[in-house]
Structure 1
Amino acid sequence: MRLPEIAVRRSISMIMVFIAFIGFGIFSLSQLGLDLFPKLEFPQIVIVSMMRGTGPEEMERLVTDVLEESVSQVMNLKNIESTSGSGSSVIFAEFEWGTDMNQAEIDIRNALDLYEDQLPEDVTDPMVIALDPSLSPIMFLSFSSDVLNEAELRYLIENDIEPLINRIDGVGSTMTRGGIEEQINVDVNPIILSEQGLSLSQLVGALSSVREDVPAGDFSFNGTYMNMKVETAFHSLEEIGRLVVGQNAGMPVQLQNVASIYRGYKDIKSIVRVDGSSSVVMVVFRRADANTVNVCGRVVDSLSEIDDSFGSAFSSSIVFSQADFINKSIMNLADTGLIALVVASLVLLFFLRSWRTSLVVAISIPVSVILCFIALRLFDITLNLISLSGLVLAVGMLVDNSIVVLENIFRHREMGQSPQQASIAATEEVGMAITASTLTTIVVFLPILFVPGITGMMFRDMSLTISFTIIMSLFVALTLVPLLASKTKNLVSSHKKGSIAHKHSLKMDGVLEKYKALLQKALTRKKLVILGTAVLLVISLLVMQTIPREFMEQPDMGFISLNAERTFGTDLESTDSTANVIEMQLRELLGEDLQSMYVKVGQEGGMEAVMGDVGPNQMSFMMRLCDVTDREKSVSAYKDEIRNMLDEMPDIQYDMEKSSQMMMGSSNAVEITLYGDDLEELRSVAEQIGVELSSIPGTKEVTTSIDAHSTELSFVPGYVQLAMRGLSPAFVSGELSTAFQGAPATFYREIDDEFDVVVRLAPEFRDSQEDFRAFTIAGMPLDGLGTFVERIASPEIARRNQSRVASIFCAVSGRSLGDVAKDVDVMMDTLDTRGMRFEVGGQTSDMKETLLFLGLAVIVAALLVYMVMAGQFESLLEPFIIILTIPMALIGVIWTLFITGTTISVTSLIGIVLLAGIVVNNGIVLIDYANRLRADGMDIVNAIVTSGVTRFRPILMTALTTILALAPLALGLGEGSEMWAPMAISVMGGLTVATALTLFLVPCLYVVLGSHKRFAKFSRKFQTDDKN
């Protein structure tokens, strides 16, 4: 027995199967994780090395050069980018998409080990970090207190609260920012130190030797066994002061003789405010394999328990939680899916005029979706914006197969067959046609899976979700629909004469008669219909050239991130004054739409050296707005207003794009990379490009990576003078670093508290450049040991593929990215770059590459659809006729995008790919039935007219359910829906025109080509050869 016959004749067994599947589906749904985007493995690895007191050029020469040389030998490497700063070297190794990143990380570690002996002794071991979405913070937690000072609050959060948060399942790491930290200061008097004949390195060495109590072994005395240790740890500040650090004239010199020892504070490197008040903020990161929503929920629960445990010591609040946007977006898409379900059901009820019949078809939607959850669980796909949007897109298509089956069952019932016979015979009759239709919808997603880069990875979940759902709908159409139809006696209710339903039926009959007349008229003017459609296609393709192009729409997440900086070298206090002004202006601009604002001035280093710029001139602002439905302006509109505000501040550079891209490819809209060896020449040409770029309409936030510069004071040692005193340049460098930056020498414990002990000059001896010049080493001022040279230096040196580079980048607003990209290409072709090589990249490059591959994906999808249809019809002619609806559907896509002002982007092109699999389905059903009628002896014209009239209602129903079900998504209402509006608009416009073409153009082509002897002979030849 075939599948429909099994379902009808063994109905109880089949119902039990569906109940079991639905149970598994609901269980699978409960196990699916919620996330913002699919699980992605980014092909990037970061290598970070630190060396205190080393300038950018020295870091480049001594560290970055060596590390880049080692990394460059690793397989599948695409690009190497590095930044050498003061005391830091950060290298980004980018690999080809699809590379096994676990193996790549091992290869990099092995390569670094081979070059380890070529690095300076003072450099830290290179830290290798694989980039992934878990490096983006998922939560910002704010802590404030009325009873604790800033140092006490910071200590409490860092030592008591942070460990509790880190123990939460799924939390990867945390960072605490803001407040002030305590330390033990050893402020040295350089005059007394020189009189005693000692050096700072001797003090650091003496303190470093006293760290922990040292075990002395196990001993047994007279049968008593005991452990012994040598107590060396300090128990009080007085003990630190009594430490002997050297001798002078045979007398011991204690630390307190040359320095003041007291409990003080670390130098403040950053200031944090939340909603205008000083605060301590904890940044929470998740593990790479953890679910964002679940982790955020556990942190919120734990935070509530912590608040109860610590009473009134502090108050906490959530500044930012990624789970909020994820939950709102998922719920919004789920609501959109429910609306689509209701709309599709109403369309069915309108056409079928019976709630029983409509219910039989409509039930296929929730059942198919629930069964799809089983596949999602098996393939480890989470419920995210991509996969859930795939479900929403599929809702309108899930009834297509069921409509065709039920319409055919109704026709067989009218022929006098019993409910069971009609259900079996009708389903088997159209079984191959709907199977082919399902295959054509699925195969269009194969090319998307092979699109390189972030696009292919992102939309894999959508492709699989739609495919799984449509396969399930086919299974439902072949089993559950005929089963339910066989149990429904009155499949279509009879309506009394004069009733609304009866009048509706008469109107539908009238519509069919009008369609039949129009189709017959079109068939008498076949060439005019075909030529007119071809001309309209050509005009549409010309109109398409005027439609703006974008890479990918950014969803309105309700957050604005702003990074700004003052001139390099600006101190923290001055930067904070500027930040206060910007903060006040932002509050005034955003008004009641602002829910909270996080402000950070300066940077504390650490991982921030990897994620962004470090320095006291840096400012970061993060603003959380109210829900998009509760405000009149979008995030994009507010960004434009903020840009206008900041453009009036001449000393400020800023960007709002890097922190808002959610790792969706390149962060800069336009990025021009200039290659050269001379830093000054690079700066000069980069500034010139920046000026020209600013003049292009639509460019915003134009900045260059090399425009900042600082005055560097270099000490050039006299090697004879040093040799006469037994000194080395390395020793001088160490003394200077300790004197003016400070050196952590040991730590001091007090009960459960632990503090760094930092050696440095007393503040009054390290306050000016004169103090620097007067600093004595071995009894000799620096002036006597060498010379000082002042010069302009870059605070950072950037490189790409082992060559120095300068990057010029900008955001785009008010114009399409494609139009700006064209102007940039023209600008760079005419600009004198003094022979320097350049590349234009950023999102412009990503857009060109991705749109090219997606354009090819559309062509490949059409070929695959043709191959599937050729296999079904065993003909080359009929598939050729049907496949012509794909380019003709572009007419609807182009004009819909043009009229609605929607750009051509990744999402709209994916809509066209999806359209290629949808638009042919109605043509398959139409021609399949026409071929059956011709096989029964009917002539070609009457066969296609009868097929058109018979299939008119199911074609119209399947098209309208898909089109109207996409309407909520096309409107782009609610969080996260902006990304999918272009896709829905493309499908709606294309399917509307394609439906009309299926009903009129396909019959004309069918008659013209089917009647042409050469085409008909060509098609029959293949069929005959196959039979022989």
Structure 2
Amino acid sequence: MSLSSVFIRRPVATTLLTFWLAAAGAVAFFQLPVSPLPEVDFPTISVQASLPGGSPQDVATTVASPLERHLGQIADVSEMTSSSSVGSARITLQFGLNRDINGAARDVQAAINAARADLPTSLRANPTYRKVNPADAPILILTLTSDTLTRGALYDAASTVLAQKLSQVEGIGEAVVGGGSLPAVRVELIPQALYKYGIGLEDVRAAIASANAHSPKGAIDVGDRRYQIYASDQAEKAAQYRSLTIAYRNGAPVRLSDVGEVVDSVENLRNSGLANGKPSVLVILFRQPNANIIGVVDRVKALLPTLRASVSPAIDIEPAVDRSTTIRASLHDVERTLVIAILLVIAVVFLFLRDWRATLVPIVAVSVSLIATFAAMWLMGYSLNNLSLMALTVATGFVVDDCIVVLENITRHIEDGMEPRDAALKGAQEVGFTVLSMSLSLVAVFIPILLMGGIVGRLFREFAMTTSLAIMISLAVSLATTPMMCAVLLRKETGERHGRLYRGSERVFEWMLDGYRSSLSLALRHPRAIMLIFASVLGLNVYLYDIIPKGFFPQQDTGRIVGAIQADQSISFQLMQQKLAQFVAIVRQDPAVDTTVGFTGGGQTNSGNVFMSLKPMAERKISADQVIARLRRELSAVPGATLFLQAVQDIRVGGRAGNAQYQYTLQGSTLEELYEWAPKITAALQGQPNLADVNSDQQNKGLQSNLVVDRDTATRLGISMSQINNTLYDAFGQRQVSTIFVARNQYHVIMEVAPRFWQNPETLKNVYISTSGGSVGGSLATNAVSGTVAAGKSASASSASANAARNLATNSIGQTGRGTASSGSAVSTSSETMVPLSTLARFEQASTPLSVNHQGLFVASTISFNLPPDVSLSAAVETIEATMNRIGVPATIRGSFQGTARAFQASLSNQPYLILAALITIYLVLGVLYESYVHPLTILSTLPSAGVGALLALMAFNTEFSIMALIGVILLIGIVKKNAIMMIDFALDAQRTRGLSAFDAIHEACLLRFRPIMMTTMAAMLGALPLAIGLGEGSELRQPLGIAIVGGLILSQVLTLYTTPVIYLYADRFRAWCERLKNTGKTPASPGAAS
């Protein structure tokens, strides 16, 4: 008695169990999370540290290096990179895939604490870390615009309200506010006016610092009441600072408005943001590694009404670039592809069986198997993503195969005159082992994938498990529900006349079977010719695999493009702002672009970022890469800057953000050697046609004005180096000289010379340093000016001394009554005590690095590149390696691929081993099932033709051999062997039970199983056909898989119908020869050819 007989005899119980499976899956479907791909993000943590005013080299040596030495000792750090720019350093740590990010974060914090003793004492705050990969594209960008409010007010609302709330949303790794800065009171001084009154920049700074004395004042008790003491000790607006007295001249006060302009403005003027050409502040949201994009975006959007109510109604807050929209569209298209695949598979079944009752059986079997898989996915913690839905689409052809084998065998018995119930019992018993063998051997294909490590193993683990679960559920349904439904639904032949369609299709099938019968006999009579074809196909596999272009992961069209602006290293902010506006204007004119946002400013004035959202595929008609190619020609017309564009990808490997998708990192023993060779290598690569957008992150040609001080003259004049440094910082550093405390935030008073002066290099010659004595007070005034030198040509020493005494006395009176937090200000006595910088120093032009980068603990320069149209990643890798060998790079300069390119190299070396492991696993499973060493090889002989078909199809459609195509080939291993299993299983049974010869057994098996073989192959091929056609969003991800399956099935179907029976005969003769050798104990004659 077979297992199926229990379910055939209890149709009600079987029906209820089937319904329960479908209901559980339907409920689970709506509980599954949605994501673009399985969770494959490397745990990544970004550490940031600030050293205001520090040069990139100083930051790299004093901040980045000590941190790297401690962070590099953390366990399972797979990659550590850093970038040091003016005043800040960012270190990115990427860990192994299996590392818990929360445990890694604790180790990072411990390393930061341990490194604190090695960091500069001038570091304002401890380094901080965030669980975010800075190389990732943002998941959502919010724009803040207003027709009435200033950019400072917008930035204030964004940083104080929005960023705080959004950072608390589950899954948000970092909320970056760009395109502006906080409101501030700006004091823009006029050097000539300062000279006129004999007031130094340090004097002004000290006076402003003394204007605010925010400190406790105590309380008083009056009777039974207590009063807290407050004072109007803060100036909050520019109008209050304009009347501030900074010195007295000839008994008259010199106010701040007399030596410059005081305005309500922003802290940093060198920031700019645009949203569709309109001034805007941007809130850029990055997710934590492995956070679900759609879930995070949905939570942010649910919070938007609250955020809008929390800020001024004059502020418009709108999502500009949203990654979730294209993810949803892609998943909807995959679901539609799944439905189409199911309909095509059912059409195949109906075409062969031509009976609606018989067709109803696979409809139920396929539907229940796929729907029940959702319940298994929910139990495994999986999500609905492109790969899991693709797995179900491909599995449509698999799950129907088991049903077809059972159904077709039962139908054949009914056509021979048996009652449906008896036919179901006998037919299910006959093919039960065949179905089991097919399913287990197919699941065995995925075992190597499940055991793989690295990103490829993690990426396709969910794919493999989803397919395996669907197959195993299908196996249960085929052995339980399918025979039960056949016994209940199918009817015995009544001899009634069939319709025209049935008769016509029957004639076609008879013609096909007669043609196969004749060609099969011919093939069996000429086995050596068939074996020669088989050997040729085997060799062709190796040749085609060697020459086919290879890649890592298909280039996705996510509908989102990111751009990085790289301008001349000496560019000013004013010109950079114009370049940003020009680029945004050009991009907005492209008909495929929906929204465009961009910003520039911050640590590097020669860089900026642009983010684009494209229109839906149905409206733009062309891919994101084609949009980039079209824009590249238009953007090249902007001189002095380049906008590098790349399509956002769902898989990003590596933690270093680059201007292009792929990276090649150079490391050297010294910074000087790296600066020498990196430009040479970059220039050599820029001339290669296999590479596009080649650029380097090496920024060592920024302009620098070196101040060479005559120390003897400075000492004679009583001027210290700290006075010179402070004066320059006061003039050009946008220096924060005072803090304004309010209820919701803290704002600053910023001092520098007026913009028209810091835009002119000649201003350096007009900077004067006060030589007068006095104490520098205020909470932010730290460097006291000491020493007084009375030197002048137009006034005598005695008159200067008298004026100084009078002014000092007046200044002292003016300072009386100010809070104890301030001790007054240093003042000068007259213009004669003002010394121009040109008196004691000269200026020299020089170059300076704008950033210093490290890979590990070594200085590094990363070359980024994109791929031109129709160029594979393998071709680009070979081009770079050949160029490095050709130009004679010294051994001290080491080059290595990073990020996605490095992952590609690793996957390329592992591909043959993965295929070999799949073959060995299937051989072991089949050997156990068939208790044979030989016939598993017969079954595996079907695979070379499938590989050739897949490779030829990929090359015909100009599709590179990527990881998706590799998975298609592995799936083919499982699909095409089913044909051989159906033949060999029947042949072996005929030999063992009926005593037929090997020739007669395999000949009969091929003819009997011709119809189910054609049905299962057509079902699998049509199930993959919607993937191969590649329609809708995200089709570029599905297409290589579908092309490989369809191409492999077409060729293997033609060849294996003939090679399998021939090889079976050779294998049987070899088995018999081995048995004779074992029985006789001596070497007999070699086995002859099959006849």
TM-score for the superposition, normalised by structure 1 = 0.89
* Superposition deviation, residue 498 in structure 1: 6.2
Does the 8 A contact of 1:653 with 1:701 survive in 2? no
Does the 8 A contact of 1:877 with 1:1019 survive in 2? no
Matches within 5 A, 1:461-500: 461-490=462-491, 496=497, 499-500=500-501
Does the 8 A contact of 1:175 with 1:282 survive in 2? yes
* Residue 182 to residue 516, structure 1, CA distance change in 2 (3 Å): same
| Counterpart pick for 1:848 among 899, 905, 919 | 905
Output the amino acid matched with 1:125.
N
Does the 8 A contact of 1:697 with 1:820 survive in 2? no
Output the amino acid matched with 2:1062.
C
Question: Partner of 2:688 in structure 1?
Answer: 696
Higher Rg of the two aligned structures: 2
Question: Partner of 2:613 in structure 1?
Answer: 624
* Superposition deviation, residue 65 in structure 1: 1.8
Matches within 5 A, 1:417-566: 418-490=419-491, 496=497, 499-566=500-567
* Superposition deviation, residue 762 in structure 1: 5.5
* Superposition deviation, residue 494 in structure 1: 6.0
| Counterpart pick for 1:825 among 870, 881, 886 | 881
Question: Partner of 1:862 in structure 2?
Answer: 919
Comparing 334-343 and 657-666, the one that deviates more? 657-666
Q: Deviations over 1:102-124 (max 9, x none)?
A: 33332232222222111111223
Does the 8 A contact of 2:730 with 2:751 survive in 1? yes
* Residue 826 to residue 473, structure 1, CA distance change in 2 (3 Å): same
Question: Partner of 1:98 in structure 2?
Answer: 98
| SS of structure 1 residue aligned to 2:1009 | helix
* Superposition deviation, residue 28 in structure 1: 1.2
- Tell whether 2:964 aligns with 1:892: no
Question: Partner of 1:279 in structure 2?
Answer: 280
- Tell whether 2:749 aligns with 1:757: yes
Distance in 1 (CA, whole Å) between partners of 2:245 and 2:492 is: 102
Q: Deviations over 1:785-837 (max 9, x none)?
A: 77755421111112223222223332121322222322322221121224432
Question: Partner of 1:570 in structure 2?
Answer: 571
* Superposition deviation, residue 386 in structure 1: 1.9
Distance in 1 (CA, whole Å) between partners of 2:596 and 2:294 is: 22
* Residue 536 to residue 25, structure 1, CA distance change in 2 (3 Å): closer
Question: Partner of 2:406 in structure 1?
Answer: 405
Comparing 683-692 and 467-476, the one that deviates more? 683-692
* Superposition deviation, residue 497 in structure 1: 5.1
Distance in 2 (CA, whole Å) between partners of 1:492 and 1:373 is: 38
- Tell whether 2:964 aligns with 1:907: yes
Distance in 2 (CA, whole Å) between partners of 1:176 and 1:323 is: 21
Matches within 5 A, 1:717-796: 733=725, 736-748=728-740, 755-761=747-753, 768-769=760-761, 771-772=763-764, 774-776=767-769, 779=772, 789-796=844-851
| Counterpart pick for 1:993 among 1044, 1051, 1075 | 1051
Output the amino acid matched with 2:387.
I
Distance in 2 (CA, whole Å) between partners of 1:543 and 1:323 is: 39
* Residue 995 to residue 763, structure 1, CA distance change in 2 (3 Å): closer
Comparing 977-986 and 7-16, the one that deviates more? 7-16
Q: Deviations over 1:249-276 (max 9, x none)?
A: 9999998998875533333333333333
Comparing 512-521 and 318-327, the one that deviates more? 512-521
| SS of structure 1 residue aligned to 2:888 | coil
**Over aligned residues, Cα RMSD in angstroms?**
3.7
| SS of structure 1 residue aligned to 2:39 | coil
Unaligned runs of 5+ in 1: 606-613, 1022-1028
* Residue 325 to residue 449, structure 1, CA distance change in 2 (3 Å): same
Q: Deviations over 1:699-718 (max 9, x none)?
A: 21121222551122344667
* Residue 377 to residue 670, structure 1, CA distance change in 2 (3 Å): closer
* Residue 91 to residue 289, structure 1, CA distance change in 2 (3 Å): closer
Unaligned runs of 5+ in 2: 773-834, 1080-1091
* Residue 887 to residue 177, structure 1, CA distance change in 2 (3 Å): same
| Counterpart pick for 1:1006 among 1056, 1060, 1064 | 1064
| Counterpart pick for 1:917 among 965, 974, 984 | 974
Distance in 2 (CA, whole Å) between partners of 1:196 and 1:928 is: 99
Comparing 237-246 and 249-258, the one that deviates more? 249-258
Question: Partner of 2:988 in structure 1?
Answer: 931
Distance in 2 (CA, whole Å) between partners of 1:409 and 1:193 is: 109
Does the 8 A contact of 1:672 with 1:838 survive in 2? no
* Superposition deviation, residue 83 in structure 1: 1.7
Question: Partner of 2:644 in structure 1?
Answer: 655
* Superposition deviation, residue 129 in structure 1: 2.6
Distance in 2 (CA, whole Å) between partners of 1:380 and 1:702 is: 41
Question: Partner of 2:704 in structure 1?
Answer: 712
* Superposition deviation, residue 859 in structure 1: 0.7
Does the 8 A contact of 1:594 with 1:624 survive in 2? yes
Does the 8 A contact of 1:704 with 1:806 survive in 2? yes
Output the amino acid matched with 1:805.
A
* Superposition deviation, residue 857 in structure 1: 0.6
Q: Deviations over 1:557-593 (max 9, x none)?
A: 23333222220231233223333443444445x23x3
| SS of structure 1 residue aligned to 2:62 | helix
Question: Partner of 1:800 in structure 2?
Answer: 855
Matches within 5 A, 1:237-316: 237=237, 262-286=263-287, 291-300=292-301, 303=304, 313-316=314-317
Q: Deviations over 1:705-757 (max 9, x none)?
A: 22551122344667788889999866764554344223435543678686433
* Residue 680 to residue 971, structure 1, CA distance change in 2 (3 Å): same
* Superposition deviation, residue 53 in structure 1: 0.6
Comparing 190-199 and 317-326, the one that deviates more? 190-199
Does the 8 A contact of 2:541 with 2:944 survive in 1? no
- Tell whether 2:676 aligns with 1:684: yes
Output the amino acid matched with 1:839.
G
* Residue 282 to residue 671, structure 1, CA distance change in 2 (3 Å): closer
Output the amino acid matched with 2:865.
C
* Superposition deviation, residue 417 in structure 1: 5.0
Distance in 2 (CA, whole Å) between partners of 1:207 and 1:413 is: 102
- Tell whether 2:1030 aligns with 1:972: yes
Distance in 2 (CA, whole Å) between partners of 1:92 and 1:83 is: 9
Does the 8 A contact of 2:178 with 2:281 survive in 1? yes
Output the amino acid matched with 2:848.
A
* Residue 469 to residue 221, structure 1, CA distance change in 2 (3 Å): farther
Question: Partner of 1:1025 in structure 2?
Answer: none
Comparing 544-553 and 986-995, the one that deviates more? 544-553
Does the 8 A contact of 2:175 with 2:286 survive in 1? yes
Does the 8 A contact of 1:235 with 1:750 survive in 2? no
Output the amino acid matched with 1:621.
V
* Residue 880 to residue 50, structure 1, CA distance change in 2 (3 Å): same
Distance in 1 (CA, whole Å) between partners of 2:417 and 2:302 is: 65
* Residue 367 to residue 215, structure 1, CA distance change in 2 (3 Å): farther
Q: Deviations over 1:264-308 (max 9, x none)?
A: 333333333333333343334456675433443454455468779
Does the 8 A contact of 2:323 with 2:560 survive in 1? no
Distance in 2 (CA, whole Å) between partners of 1:493 and 1:642 is: 69
| Counterpart pick for 2:631 among 632, 639, 642 | 642
* Residue 192 to residue 425, structure 1, CA distance change in 2 (3 Å): farther
Comparing 858-867 and 164-173, the one that deviates more? 164-173
Does the 8 A contact of 1:944 with 1:1003 survive in 2? yes
Distance in 1 (CA, whole Å) between partners of 2:227 and 2:974 is: 79
Does the 8 A contact of 1:687 with 1:707 survive in 2? no
Distance in 2 (CA, whole Å) between partners of 1:1019 and 1:403 is: 41
* Superposition deviation, residue 844 in structure 1: 4.3
* Residue 450 to residue 720, structure 1, CA distance change in 2 (3 Å): farther
